[in-house]
Copies of this chain bind each other. A is one copy, B any other.
């Protein structure tokens, strides 16, 4: 009767300051932990014998960061996953989700400051480590990366029915809040470097593509990642279409030479796909 179940702790906020003399490094993560396993009795009978409290999960995040340090989110997630799988017999599958909030150094004059930072956003870096005692997979990603192109974006040639009013366009704004998640083909790697390579490829391709639709550009972005970054096995992209509508200025005796737009949030198109080798 209990078909599937999971429990865990979300929104664990960890800030780690590594102090190298006057130069500090900051890592700011939000961590979520999710357990799946032989926990049926806790649901059906209220038997907590094997149920590691989610409060202990939270404590473990802080304790492991303190004990072992913290390089990249992927490696930290891997340590957490292995720790939990090693210690908890009922645990069959664990998921560790991490959001990395990036703080850039402030520059004072021509020097980077060692101890002062500003958040760089609104996009975040993400990672997911998930698996069993036998097999673990690592996903990385970027979320809420707001990008816009004001040229080389069209949408035309689509079918029309009695409810179609959209005019075809050869030159529209294409704006999105990109969320991409990619799976690495192993659990080793220089994850910071890999992240920058994938993120750079996504942005370059978005900028350069002659877009016939969001779908068209999304696919090209994913394919370019697979082409450029050998460690990526597959990639999932989600691109909401944040419509920028040209304002009709004709009632005011003015012409809109494709310059004046209203940015809208509702409704929005939503396009997604997974591309794999």
The interface of chain A, by Cβ under 8 A from chain B, is 1-19, 22, 24, 26, 28, 32, 34, 39, 42-56, 58-60, 62-63, 65-67, 87, 103, 106, 108, 113-119, 121-122, 145-152, 155-166, 173, 203-204, 206-208, 211-216, 218-219, 223, 226, 234, 240-241, 244, 247, 249, 251-277
11 CB-based A-B contacts, threshold 8 Å:
A2-B273, A2-B275, A6-B273, A16-B261, A17-B173, A43-B216, A48-B212, A53-B155, A59-B164, A63-B254, A116-B147
* Chain B minimum-CB-distance residue to A238: B6
A181 to B109, CA, bound (A): 24
CB pair A49–B157 under 8 Å, yes or no, is yes
Distance between A114 CB and nearest chain B CB, rounded to angstroms: 8
A19 to B173, CA, bound (A): 13
B157 and A270 contacting across the interface, CB-CB below 8 Å: no
Minimal beta-carbon separation of A99 from chain B (angstroms): 12
Please give, as numbers and ranges, the residues of chain B lying within 8 Å of A276 by CB-CB distance: 1, 3
A115 contacts B152, C-beta separation under 8 Å: yes
Tell whether, in the assembled complex, residue A215 and residue B7 are in contact, meaning their CB atoms are under 8 Å apart.
yes
A151 contacts B252, C-beta separation under 8 Å: no
In angstroms, Cα B58 to Cα A7, docked, is 32
* A39 proximity list for chain B (CB < 8 A): 215
Q: Which of B32, B55, B166, B264 contacts A56 (CB 8 A)?
A: B166
* A113 (CB) vs chain B CBs: closest residue: B207
Task: Name the 3 nearest CB pairs between A and B, nearest first.
Answer: A46-B212, A116-B207, A119-B146
B157 touches A277 (CB 8 A): no
- On whether the beta carbons of B14 and A262 are closer than 8 Å, the reply is yes
Minimum distance in angstroms from A13 CB to a CB of chain B: 4
Q: Tell whether, in the assembled complex, residue A159 and residue B1 are in contact, meaning their CB atoms are under 8 Å apart.
A: no
A261 CA to B24 CA, complexed, in Å: 14
Q: Using Cβ atoms and an 8 Å threshold, which residues of chain B touch A58? A: 267
Given known A-B contacts A62-B260, A259-B66, A268-B9, A52 and B158 have beta carbons under 8 A apart: yes
Tell whether, in the assembled complex, residue A216 and residue B7 are in contact, meaning their CB atoms are under 8 Å apart. no
Known: A10-B270, A50-B159; 15 extra A-B contacts, CB below 8 A, are A3-B276, A9-B269, A15-B173, A26-B150, A43-B216, A46-B215, A48-B213, A63-B254, A66-B260, A113-B208, A117-B150, A118-B145, A118-B146, A163-B251, A265-B266
